[in-house]
Amino acid sequence: MKILVIGSGGREHAIVSSVAKSKRVSEIYAAPGNAGIAELAQCVDISVMDFDKLVAFAKEKEIDLTIVGPDDPLVAGCVDAFEAAGLRVFGPRKNAAIIEGSKAFSKDLMKKYGIPTAAYENFDNADDALAYLEKADFPIVLKADGLALGKGVLICKDLEEAKAGVKEIMLDKHFGDAGNKMVIEEFMTGREVSVLAFCDGTTIKTMTSAQDHKRAKDGDQGLNTGGMGTFSPSPFYTEEIDAFCQEEIYKKTMAAMKAEGRDFVGVLFTGLMITEKGTKVLEFNARFGDPEAQVVLPRMKNDIIDVMEACIDGKLDTIDLQFEDNAAVCVVLASDGYPVSYEKGFPIKGLDTFKDKEDYYVFHAGTKLKEGEVVTNGGRVLGVTAKGKDLVTARANAYEATKWIDFDNKYMRNDIGKAIDEQ
């Protein structure tokens, strides 16, 4: 089979690595890809949002299956464009990707179908939001409705901060049109867990759990980022919690989307908060998480193409989804200064060390080839993943492997997965 993967981050490198393991695959293409993906796939310089060119490319190369990685093209209807051209494609259609594309939509869906989530109100103008805040409890959470590169969530400790937040989102439009509407929701405390699941519109099968570390600095200090590292599985996501979530969250969400005429086919990412009052949904995403994919996919035993085809064909119930009985930790190597400002273009040394090592992976997120050399080209540069028999071992292995890589400006957190030591 010929496969096209759309995207250029660590998530897409992890997807391409899994695709490359499939015996059914003969050629892999990536649009636009990155320097790491280029070792496994032929990269073609087409933007993830240029659907006409992507479709034309898939037709020209007679691609058998296209996999859409990032949220932006999914929410904008990339899958619909491929289907309209008669092409096979993995991911939710626009009318289902809205579960990520509009937080107001997903909150209303959860309310309507009794799926546990934080109490909330939706607003489409700043005056009403400000009036609501006058009577609210603090801290409180403000969320821009639309896609905002994972940055549209503000946790406000008092009324003054919340008022400034409404101005930022709805009046100053810091997140552009994503702030035309806003959700104000109850602040929850607890353990966060990410659970990714394959979906065929009717059946939902969860992958092994993971946890992301979103803040830039050790001890969960600093600004929110796209994710500074992950570990899998999460020891906090117990069998009991999983049993609850299967019935009360995942199956209900699948059924809710179907009842709304928005069958969800693809990967549903549920961000959970395990609180003292039970487990609740923080958010839904319509795709693999990044860097969650970098610890979940290396542990998956199935052929990823078999699973994705079963989703498209509505036959996911025939798949026995299996994960290795081990653990993985991913430490993101970033450019110092991320997520605010940073320099790029520094040569990266040590990538070859990973080549002959089983259970160690270096996924490229922000890299490019410059005169035959791999250089830094983003805030998050690489995801260094290692497996181990348990989380403590995987963590030690991952941090050892971070030493193999060197570039000017290299920055990482030193406490990815540290909470697991407390177990």
For binding to ligand AMP (CB under 6 A), which residues are involved? Answer: 118, 141, 150, 153, 155, 185-188, 192, 214, 271, 282-283
| Binding flag, residue 397, ligand GLY (CB under 6 A) | no
Return the one option of ligand AMP, ligand GLY, none that residue 187 interacts with (CB less than 5 to 8 A, by type). Answer: ligand AMP
Residue with the closest Cβ to ligand AMP?
Answer: 283
State which residue, 135 or 355, has the beta carbon closest to ligand AMP. 135
Rounded least distance, CB 65 to ligand AMP, Å: 29
State which residue, 283 or 290, has the beta carbon closest to ligand AMP. 283
Q: H-type helices in 188-233, by residue range?
A: none
Contact (CB, 8 A) for 253 and 284: yes
Contact (CB, 8 A) for 197 and 205: yes
State which residue, 228 or 351, has the beta carbon closest to ligand GLY. 228
**Interacting residue with ligand GLY among 185, 212, 263, 309 (CB under 6 A):** 212
| Binding flag, residue 72, ligand GLY (CB under 6 A) | no
- Subset of residues 150 to 169 that bind ligand GLY, contact rule: CB under 6 A: 150
* Bond preceding residue 339 cis, omega within 30 of 0: yes
Q: Which residue, chain included where needed, has tokens 């496969």?
A: 3
As given in the structure block, the two tokens for residue 122 are 């939706």
Q: Could you tell me which stretch among 284-292, 369-377, 395-403, 410-418 binds ligand GLY (CB under 6 A)?
A: 284-292
Q: Using CB under 6 A as the criterion, what x/- string covers residues 244-283 for binding ligand GLY?
A: ----------------------------------------
Contact (CB, 8 A) for 160 and 210: no
Rounded least distance, CB 124 to ligand AMP, Å: 19
Return the one option of ligand GLY, ligand AMP, none that residue 64 interacts with (CB less than 5 to 8 A, by type). Answer: none
Return the one option of ligand AMP, ligand GLY, none that residue 17 interacts with (CB less than 5 to 8 A, by type). Answer: none
As given in the structure block, the two tokens for residue 303 are 């052929």
Rounded least distance, CB 285 to ligand GLY, Å: 5
**Nearest to residue 166, comparing CAs of 149, 151, 150, 184?**
184
State which residue, 154 or 316, has the beta carbon closest to ligand AMP. 154
| Binding flag, residue 69, ligand GLY (CB under 6 A) | no
Contact (CB, 8 A) for 305 and 19: yes
**Rounded-to-integer distance, Cα 39 and Cα 30, Å:** 11
State which residue, 165 or 227, has the beta carbon closest to ligand GLY. 227
Burial class (CB in 10 A: 0-12, 13-18, 19+), 174: middle
Return the one option of ligand AMP, ligand GLY, none that residue 285 interacts with (CB less than 5 to 8 A, by type). Answer: ligand GLY
Contacts of 294 (CB under 8 A, 6+ apart): 10, 11, 13, 14, 230, 330, 361, 363, 383, 385
| Binding flag, residue 292, ligand GLY (CB under 6 A) | yes
Residue 193 exposure: Cα atoms within 13 Å on the Cβ side: 25
**Nearest to residue 12, comparing CAs of 363, 384, 312, 376?**
363
- Subset of residues 215 to 234 that bind ligand GLY, contact rule: CB under 6 A: 227
Q: Quick check: helix, strand or coil at residue 329?
A: strand
**Rounded-to-integer distance, Cα 291 and Cα 288, Å:** 9
The contact set with ligand GLY (CB under 6 A) reads 150, 212, 227, 285, 289-290, 292
